[in-house]
Structure formats: C-alpha cells, structure tokens
Amino acid sequence: MVWQENTRVIVMTTKEIERGKNKCVRYWPDENQTKEVGKFVLKNIAESSTTDYILREFLLTKEECTETRTIYHYHFTAWPDHGVPSDPGCVLNFLHDVNHRQESIPAAGPIVVHCSAGIGRTGTFIVIDMIVDLIKRQGLDCEIDIQRSIQMVRSQRSGMVQTEAQYKFVYLAVQHYIDTLQQRIQAEQKSIQLGREYTNIKYTAEAAGATDPVKVVTNASACATTLSPPTPTMPPLVTRSSCENLKPPVPPRPSPDSIVPRPPDEPLQLYENIPLKDKPLVVPLTASFNIGPPPTIAPPPPPRKS
C-alpha cells in the first residue's frame, strides 16, 4: 500500500506494547539494519527522538526496480490507549511537524495513520488534522462543525473517535489551535503597526531635512572615527597648568564711572556737596525754637486787584 499510493510519511500513534499487551507488530528494522518484506527491502538509515515522538528515516526499494524512496516514520509515544494526551499542544506540534514534512516532499502521496485498532487515536488525529486544515484554508471565520466531521469519517470507517474523552479532546485541541492562532495574528499586527510608525517617522525626517539616511550614517561614522579619542589604558596626568586652564575666568571689574554710589544712611548727608544757596532748609523734627507768643491782631487781608 505504501508503495502503491506513493506514501512518504507514516504516522504511528501507539506503542508496540501497552499494559503488557502487544499493540503493534514491529514492521521496521533497527537503526542501520535491513528487513525484507515480500518483494520489498526496508532499511532504517536514521533515528532521532524528541519528548513526544521518534522520527525514523527508511529507504524502501522494490525488486526489479531501480527506484529508491525515502519514507519518514513519525512514531508518537505520548498517547495512551483509550485515553488522551495530557496537553493538546503536544499533539498540535506533532501534527505541525508531520504536515511540514509532507509539504516539503514533491508529489508525495497520502499520509498513512495507524494505531492499534485504527479507530480511536487514529480517528482523533485525523479529525483534528481535517479541522486545522480547514482553518488554514478558510481562516478563523469558517464554519466549524466537529460533530459533522466525526460523523463523516465514521461513515467511511466505523468507530472513529472511539471514546467520549477522545471526542472532548478534539474540541480542546481545536480551541487551543484557534487561541494560539489569534495570539499570533495579534502579535503580527502589532509588529506591522510598529513598523508603520517607524516608517512614518523616517519619512518625516527625510522630508524635513532632505537628507539621505545612508549619508547620515556614513557621516556619523566618520565623525565618530575622527573625534573619538583612543581609549587610554591609564588615566591622564593632572598638572598645575592644566588645572589653571580649567579655572573659570575672572569677571572684569567695573569702571569707576559705572559704579553706582550707595545712598547715605542720614538724610542730611544728601546735601553735603550742594552749595549753600541751593541747599533747602531742613529742620530736624527734634529742634525747638522760641518764636514768641501768637499775634493778637489778625494779619491784613491781601490787596484787591484794580
């Protein structure tokens, strides 16, 4: 079947032995070993392990045929029988790696998925892959009907998605994928918005200064090369002459003509330099004079104008 359908990726979601029972016959050889199956020869050329799965690389050849095909075997080991993985993220990461490998192979045939009975874990994995692929093609606004999808695959193979826990796990995995995709879209939109703001700032600066940014960077580098002193290994010596050069300049003294005199403390000193005839009569308030008694007769009235 693998040769007939030109399958290049095989997904295995069961362990060879679970709960002391053989769940799957080992149909591949050990690493760097070869196994003959009928007219076919299978060689295991590489194995690598991750936290949740083992990746094996096979070379498949057929008798009387010079063609050799590379088969990638993804063995998921974190899925218990009649149960579900503890984290839907590990299944989504595994599904991403499988699809990425499938898309990288030109003209690859369909992916082969199997577990022990081929209905529980296999059906759950296939339904999750179908809905994730639908979201990738149509976006988050597409119509998602998990119940109808399960009924469709059950019409082709009875018993697909075997238990209630597996049925709920499909919902959890799809919800986890949608939440992750929304966070990624928001981060990309934020990054694009920041890029637009930076572009607007750059264009505004270029329009205002009409300066080539490349020349600005070149000139800045030249200035930095010219003006930047070499980094000294020891601090420079401080001399007396260098300290004198660092003193602030002494402000010049004002000329005598520009000096404003301070007013005297006593008011009488204001008139010391005034000639006698120009001096006003200033009588201290504390002085006492004998001017005699007041007049008994009123002074005559002023003369009238003729």
Q: What is residue 216's predicted lDDT score, i.e. its pLDDT?
A: 45
> Is CATH 3.90.190.10 the classification given to domain 9-182?
yes
Mean pLDDT for the stretch of residues 67-96: 93
Mean pLDDT for the stretch of residues 234-255: 58
pLDDT band at 249 (very low <50, low <70, confident <90, very high): low
Contact 150, 167 (CB under 8 A): yes
What's the rounded Cα separation, in Å, for the pair 52 and 94?
8
Q: What is residue 208's predicted lDDT score, i.e. its pLDDT?
A: 59
Mean pLDDT for the stretch of residues 73-100: 93
What's the rounded Cα separation, in Å, for the pair 126 and 133?
10
Question: Could you give the residue ranges of the DSSP H alpha helices within the chain?
Answer: 88-104, 120-138, 146-156, 164-209, 213-227, 240-246
Catalytic residue at 115? Answer: yes
How does pLDDT run across 55-66, given as a tens digit for each residue?
Answer: 999 999 999 889
Residue 148, pLDDT above cutoff 60? yes
How does pLDDT run across 163-188, given as a tens digit for each residue?
Answer: 999 999 999 999 999 999 999 988 88
Backbone angles phi, psi at 163, to 5 degrees: -115, 165
What's the rounded Cα separation, in Å, for the pair 71 and 104?
13
Nearest-CA neighbor of 55 among 79, 33, 28? 28
Residue 127, pLDDT above cutoff 70? yes
Highest-scoring range by mean pLDDT, 155-159, 210-214, 284-288: 155-159
Q: What is residue 181's predicted lDDT score, i.e. its pLDDT?
A: 93
Residue 27, pLDDT above cutoff 80? yes
**Residue 92 DSSP label:** H
Question: When comparing pLDDT for 189 and 160, which is higher?
Answer: 160
Q: What is residue 13's predicted lDDT score, i.e. its pLDDT?
A: 96
What's the rounded Cα separation, in Å, for the pair 124 and 111?
15
Q: What is residue 67's predicted lDDT score, i.e. its pLDDT?
A: 92
Catalytic residue (choose from 115, 142, 223, 243)? 115
Average pLDDT, the chain: 81
How does pLDDT run across 257-296, given as a tens digit for each residue?
Answer: 555 566 666 655 555 555 555 555 555 554 455 556 666 6
Percent of the chain with pLDDT over 70: 65
